[in-house]
Amino acid sequence: MDRDLWKAMQNLNIGSNLQPLRLSRDTQRRNATANRLSLVVRGLNPAHQNLTGMRNTLPKAWRLHDRVRGQINDDGTIQFFFTEEHNLLSVIDRGPWSFKDWMVIMDPWYRRGNPNFLTTISFWVQIYNIPNEYRNQEVVEEIGRELGHQEGLRIVEPTRDNLSEVWVRIRFDAYQPLTFTRYIHFEEGRDQVLLRFEYERLKKFCVTCGRLTHERMECGHVLPQPQQLIEQNEEEQLCQQINLQQQDQEQALAEGEQLMVEKEEAESPIEQVDHDEEENLDQIHIAEYMQDVTQPLLNQGTPVSIPGISCPTTTFEIGSTSGADRGSKRKFEDIISEDSYPARRQRIEETNDEDGLVVAIRPPPEP
Ligand SMILES: [Zn+2]
């Protein structure tokens, strides 16, 4: 008999007139408890994150593979069932996590009725270039609010060997572009300052639009042209022109530095010979990937400013001769030289031949 016909014959209503089945109270209670202690996870780039691999690998990355059970849901999410609530909370606290170099988002199952359920991600963000006199909780909180919902804040005083550090833990919409730079007017009559934001544990993202959901080659977003960025307001027009000039200068400096790096590499052929083919490909990929991480994202949005303050005629960046270069080169060096990672960037790695690599970095230590 034809298979479809066979199935159709069984699609009858015989039995619908019987007494409805009822789950026993014990089963209901155990099911509710299991769901309450579960975490729903979704990959931000599903095309590169197969669900079976993610289900098998994430618990190992969490060091909880013997205490967590994963279930793939029909909607493309994975639900991880914990036995202890503190383990669930620990996973959230140690996040964000990635699988196959793309970030994943997670939410406790009990938040499923919330409008922003499974749409946000939380990073520790280090803020650079805040002048000493503004390095305090109130100012940092105000800056943090521009990035998203603040979940934590830490200001580290400088020591003889280390510069000061300003960190904010920010939760924001995982489907919106990341912000890497932002001009700020700290006070009237002073030059505006270009703040830089570095995201701890950030993995791949689109260097064209700054989103976590796709690669540059797959980007369908078009950045506004400089002409479109110019607002009708005359004062804002002036600000935009200044920003563009600054961008050109930084581009020129970055290109100059890039040439210097290439020249140094050319003069050190031994290093290149020592790399096997796979390593070379990795480095080429990383170099290509990081080369313009900063530039396309510069000057998005208008500067943060205190109302009533006019746009100054010059801009500068504290502690750097070339802001764009500093950001991109630092990230590049950090990635290719893991040994140079400071302790707070210690990596946790789990390798699985079938499932790929999960990498997370431990959160910054408490001061
Ligand atoms: Zn994009």
Other beta carbons less than 10 A from residue 274's beta carbon: 8
Who has greater pLDDT, 329 or 51?
A: 51
**Phi and psi at residue 69, to the nearest 5°:** -115, 135
Query: Is the pLDDT assigned to residue 303 strictly greater than 70?
Result: no
Interval 198-216: pLDDT, tens? 999 999 999 999 999 999 9
Distance 212 CA to ligand 1 centre (A): 8
Query: What local confidence, expressed as pLDDT, does residue 300 receive?
Result: 45
Report which of residues 3 and 78 the model is more confident about.
Answer: 78
**Protein residues with C-beta less than 5 angstroms from the ion ligand 1:** 206, 208-209, 219, 221
- Which of 175, 166, 174, 110 lies closest to 142, judged by CA? 166
* pLDDT at position 193: 94
Collapsing DSSP to helix, strand or coil, 7 comes out as helix
CA of 221 relative to ligand 1 center, distance in Å: 5
Q: Give the whole-angstrom CA distance, residue 150 versus residue 143.
A: 10
The percentage of the chain sitting over the pLDDT mark of 90, rounded to a whole number, equals 52
CA distances from 283 to 157, 336, 340 (A): 35, 7, 16
- Identify the pLDDT of residue 364: 54
φ, ψ of residue 197 in degrees (nearest 5):
-120, 130
Tokens of 61: 């990355």
Tell how far the Cα of 156 is from the centroid of ligand 1, in angstroms: 34
| pLDDT over threshold 50, residue 160 | yes
**pLDDT above 70 as % of the chain:** 60
CA of residue 210 to ligand 1 center, whole Å = 6
**What is the 269 CA–ligand 1 centroid distance (Å)?**
35
Interval 225-250: pLDDT, tens: 544 444 445 555 554 555 556 566 55
User: Which pLDDT band holds residue 164 (cuts at 50, 70, 90)?
Assistant: very high
Q: What is the pLDDT of residue 14?
A: 83
Q: Cα separation of 354 and 352, whole Å?
A: 5
Helix (H, G, I), strand (E, B) or coil at 154: strand
Q: What is the pLDDT of residue 315?
A: 37
Q: Which pLDDT belongs to residue 4?
A: 84
Averaged over 79-107, what is the pLDDT?
Answer: 96
pTM of the model: 0.62
**CATH number given to 29-111:** 3.30.70.330
Q: What is the pLDDT of residue 245?
A: 60
Arithmetic mean of pLDDT, 50-67 = 95
Question: Ligand 1 mean position to 216 CA, how many Å?
Answer: 5
Measured in Å, residue 228 CA sits from the centre of ligand 1 at 19
Domain locations in the chain as residue ranges: 29-111, 120-267+274-339+348-361
How far does residue 110's CA lie from ligand 1's centre (Å)?
32
Pairing between strand 315-316 and 192-199?
Answer: parallel
Output the pLDDT for position 365.
Answer: 56
- Asked which of 1-10, 173-182, 219-228, 265-274 is least confident by mean pLDDT, the reply is 265-274
* Structure tokens belonging to residue 345: 């960037």
pLDDT greater than 60 at residue 20: yes
**What pLDDT is attached to residue 17?**
87
pLDDT of residue 252: 55
253 vs 285, more confident: 253
Q: What per-residue confidence (pLDDT) applies to 250? A: 58
For residue 218, how far is its CA from the centre of ligand 1 (angstroms)?
7
| Mean pLDDT, range 182-186, rounded to an integer | 93
CA of 217 to the centre of ligand 1 (A): 8
